[in-house]
Amino acid sequence: MLTNALYAVKEVTIPALSSMMVTTKYKGLTNENALPIATIHAPQHPTISGMPAWVSIDPYKNCKIIIDNCALYDIVLPRNEILGILEFESDECLPLNDDTVANIISSIQQKFPKVNKKQFSRQEIAQKAHLNVPEQYKQKYIDILFRPQAAISVNKMDLGRAKNFTHKIHLKDNNPVYRKQFKIPEAHQNFIEATLDEWLKLGVVKRSNSLYNSPLFCVPKKQAKASELFRTSVN
């Protein structure tokens, strides 16, 4: 018996592509001076998942955890099935909200040297933009790029962040929209993995455990560099 495992108190059925709060039993030693952190880990059911969460333990060593069923079918969790592990964190835990993330990003940015963004001349913009427009309109396009150039990224490392807007997607109902990833060529697979790894480092995307999914695929670029032959797209 694992001393840090969380066991199902009773048999539970989790419907396909849904989440459910499940009561579990902890049979190990507790630490009153540390915070209990539960992590979903079910060796017998690899299709269930869940984010690590700060939980509370009652006097009978029961605690409730939220489990996501990512499978397209119902899953039955028998009594005494291992559903997760419990660890005790002695360090202070911070809530993961917009303010916390903004403070972390701000503290990281303060460690980097402040470098003023270069102001490009109209001639430099014309050379970099490679405008393929009629000659009589070219100067107007250059003026459009010249005036707000502080808001235009110079390269992929020069990304800004809009904090004044919140994007909301309104769905017809609360049922998760899940589309299975279809098979793609190996070259496209390697490109997508490399792109996602780069986006994670740049902070463009973040890891997520979600019941929603849309397939990824590649679209060839016209007149692209050898290192940028494809564009990652979502179906």
How far is it, in rounded angstroms, from Cα 142 to Cα 130? 10
- Cα–Cα dist 76/11, whole Å: 7
Residue ranges covered by each domain of the chain:
5-89, 119-151, 177-235
Nearest of 120, 53, 124 to residue 86 by alpha carbon? 53
- The reported pLDDT for the residue numbered 96 is 72
- Specify the CATH number for 5-89; select among 2.70.40.10, 1.10.10.10, 3.90.1300.10, 3.40.1360.10: 2.70.40.10
Task: Give the pLDDT confidence of 84-138 residue by residue, as tens digits.
Answer: 999 998 887 777 777 787 787 778 777 766 667 778 888 888 888 888 889 888 8
Instruction: Read off the pLDDT band of 77 (50, 70, 90).
Output: very high
Q: Residue with structure tokens 């740049």? A: 202
What CA–CA distance (Å, rounded) separates 216 from 213?
9
- Indicate the pTM of the whole model: 0.45
Q: What distance lies between CA 154 and its chain's CA centroid?
A: 25
Q: How far apart are CA 187 and CA 164, in angstroms?
A: 38
Contact 23/64 with Cβ under 8 angstroms? yes
Q: Architecture of domain 177-235 in CATH?
A: Roll (3.10)
User: Taking all residues of the chain, what is their mean pLDDT, rounded to a whole number?
Assistant: 84
Return d(Cα 139, Cα 33) in angstroms, integer. 68
CA dist 119 and 204 (Å) reads 25
Considering only residues 150 and 25, tell me which one the structure prediction assigns the higher pLDDT.
25
Alpha-helix residue ranges (DSSP H) falling in the chain: 98-110, 122-129, 135-146, 186-202
What the block records as the tokens of 40 is 């979903």
Contact 153, 160 (CB under 8 A): yes
- The answer on pLDDT for 78 being more than 80 is yes
What does the alpha-carbon distance between residue 94 and residue 92 come to, in Å, rounded to a whole number? 7
Query: In this predicted structure, what is the pLDDT of residue 62?
Result: 94
Nearest C-alpha neighbor of 18 from the set 189, 210, 195, 146: 210
